[in-house]
Amino acid sequence: MRIVVLAGGVGGARFLSGVRAWASTHQAATQQAATQQAATQQAPTPRTVVTAIVNVGDNVTMHGLRICPDLDTVMYTLGGGNDRERGWGRAGESWVVKDELAAYGGTHSWFGLGDRDLATHLVRTRMLAEGRTLSEATAELCRRWRPGIEMLPASDDHFETHVVTPEGTMHFQEWWVRHRGVPEVVRFEFDGAATATAAPGVLAAIADADLVLVGPSNPVVSIGPILAVPGVRDAITKSPARVVGVSGIIGDAPVLGMADRCLRAVGVACSAAGVGGLYGARSSGGLLDGWLVDTVDAGTTVEGLPVRAMPLWMRDDEATAAMVAAAVELAAR
C-alpha cells in the first residue's frame, strides 16, 4: 500500500508520526498473512510505503542561511529530536548564538535560531551553495534523522508564502513570528508559484498512491501552498488514489496555531464544514473523497462529501493511528 500525506509543520508532523505507526502495524499484519500463505504463494510481501509532501512556503533566509521550518519540524519529530513542549525546534536546545546576535543588535533577532538547529541550516545552506537541490539536501539531512518515511519538499524552486497587509507585504514568518500574526491580512500570496515545479518524485508518488491523506495542517498556509505548486492539485484530482482529509479544526477552533485568522482572510468559516467545503468533494471538481471530523462536529455536512466523525485529538501515536485507520476505512467505502 502506498500512502501520500500532505503536511505542514507541527500538526503535519504529529499526524505523520501516527501514519508511520499505522503503517508499521499494517505492514506487520500483511507480512503475517503472507507468511501463512507462503506454502501456496511465492510472491514477495507488498510494502506499506509512506511519502510526505511537505510545505515549503514557510522557507526563509536569515543571516544567509536557508531555513525550512516545516521540513525541519517533520524531520526532527519523526527522528525523535524535536522539542515536544514547544512543538518546533530541537530538544535540549541552547540559544548562545541567538543571544550573541542580539548583542550585535541584529535585525533578525525575532526569529528563534537555536544552536543545535543552526547545524541543520548550515549543512543545508552549504549543499545549496554547492548547487545541490533542496530535495538532495533534505535527503542528506534525513540520513541522520531516519524519519522512517520518504520526505519530499513540495518544490525545490523558489516558493514563499507572503502576507499582504494594509501596511505592506511581508514574508509569512515576519507576519506570524515577528508580528505575532497581528497585522490584518488582505490576502496570502505564493511568491514563485507561477514558475515553480514540483520536486522530483512528488507527482510520481501521487500518481502511484493508493491513498492520499490531507493532514490536519493549516488549510491556507500549509496545505494551500502545496496545492499551489503547479501540477500538484491536478495530479491529486486525476490520481486513481482515494483522497481523504482530516480536519485540523475541532469545534470551530484550530487545535493550535493561526488557522482561524488565515481562514477569515480567505473568507472561509473556521469550522470542519468550512474547511471541508474549501477542499471540496472530488465528485464536484474538488479534492476529497472523504472528510474526517471530530465527534463534536458530528453534524458536519459538505455537499457531495462522505463525512465521518471520530475523536481527532492527536494525543499520542495510538490515537493518531486510529484516525489513520478510520481514514483508510472511509477511503475503502
- CB 192 → ligand GDP: shortest distance, Å? 18
What are the grid coordinates assigned to 99, written together?
Answer: 543571544
Residue 259 contacts ligand GDP per CB under 6 A: yes
Residue 58 contacts Ca ion per CB under 5 A: yes
Cell numbers 496570502: residue: 188
Cβ neighbours, 10 Å, residue 185: 19
- CB 152 → Ca ion: shortest distance, Å? 16
Based on CB atoms, which residue is closest to Ca ion, 222 or 320?
222
Residue 82 contacts ligand GDP per CB under 6 A: no
- CB 69 → ligand GDP: shortest distance, Å? 7
- Sole binder of ligand GDP in the list 28, 204, 256, 298 (CB under 6 A): 256
Residue 18 contacts ligand GDP per CB under 6 A: no
- CB 91 → ligand GDP: shortest distance, Å? 16
Based on CB atoms, which residue is closest to ligand GDP, 216 or 280?
216
Residue 70 contacts Ca ion per CB under 5 A: yes
> Distance between CA 65 and CA 171 in Å, rounded?
15
Alpha helices in the chain (DSSP H): 10-36, 69-78, 96-103, 115-129, 134-145, 172-173, 202-208, 224-228, 232-238, 259-265, 272-279, 317-332
Of the ranges 26-34, 111-119, 194-202, 244-252, which one interacts with ligand GDP (CB under 6 A)?
A: 244-252
Residue 254 contacts ligand GDP per CB under 6 A: yes
Sign of CA dihedral 281, 286, 288, 292: negative
Residue 165 per-residue DSSP state: E
> Distance between CA 219 and CA 233 in Å, rounded?
14
What are the grid coordinates assigned to 285, written together?
Answer: 471538481
Cell numbers 488549510: residue: 219
- Sole binder of ligand GDP in the list 18, 257, 280, 286 (CB under 6 A): 257
Residue 198 per-residue DSSP state: B
Total number of residues binding ligand GDP (CB under 6 A)? 24
192 binds, among Ca ion, ligand GDP, none (CB under 5 to 8 A by kind): none
What are the grid coordinates assigned to 125, written together?
Answer: 545552506
Based on CB atoms, which residue is closest to ligand GDP, 192 or 248?
248
Q: Which residues, in sequence order, are CB contacts of 229 under 8 Å at separation 6+?
A: 154, 155, 159, 193, 196, 197, 198, 202
Contact track, Ca ion, 4-43, x by CB under 5 A: ----xx----------------------------------
What are the grid coordinates assigned to 308, written together?
Answer: 465521518
Total number of residues binding Ca ion (CB under 5 A)? 4
Nearest-CB residue for Ca ion: 9
> Distance between CA 292 and CA 222 in Å, rounded?
18
Residues that bind ligand GDP (CB under 6 A): 7-12, 14, 70, 73, 216-218, 222, 247-248, 250, 254-257, 259, 312-314
Residues that bind Ca ion (CB under 5 A): 8-9, 58, 70
